[in-house]
Amino acid sequence: MIGRKRPPTRNQLSVNNDVCRRYGFCVAEAPELFELTPSGGLRYRRVVPPRELENARSAARICPTLAIALAEAESPTRGGRA
């Protein structure tokens, strides 16, 4: 299919497990979104609720291996011109 990729309709998180080292900085930044499991894995919410969006951005910024990708949904436009 040819054309532009559609923006996500929801704020979505993904973690590249190939580079994540389970440091846990993301857990400290966004405990509602990330969790280290007792077995040493990382669990996270794939859909970010609007109230957690800023924490998700902080986690993505602070991750030392840049493992976190955040695809933000387009915010609704209010019409008119900027």
Residues that bind ligand SF4 (CB under 6 A): 15, 20-26, 42, 63, 65, 67-68
Least distance (Å) from ligand SF4 to the CB of residue 30?
A: 9
Contacts of 23 (CB under 8 A, 6+ apart): 63, 64, 65
Least distance (Å) from ligand SF4 to the CB of residue 51?
A: 20
Residue 20 or 73 having the CB closest to ligand SF4: 20
Residue 25 or 70 having the CB closest to ligand SF4: 25
3-state secondary structure of 73: coil
Q: How far apart are CA 66 and CA 15, in angstroms?
A: 9
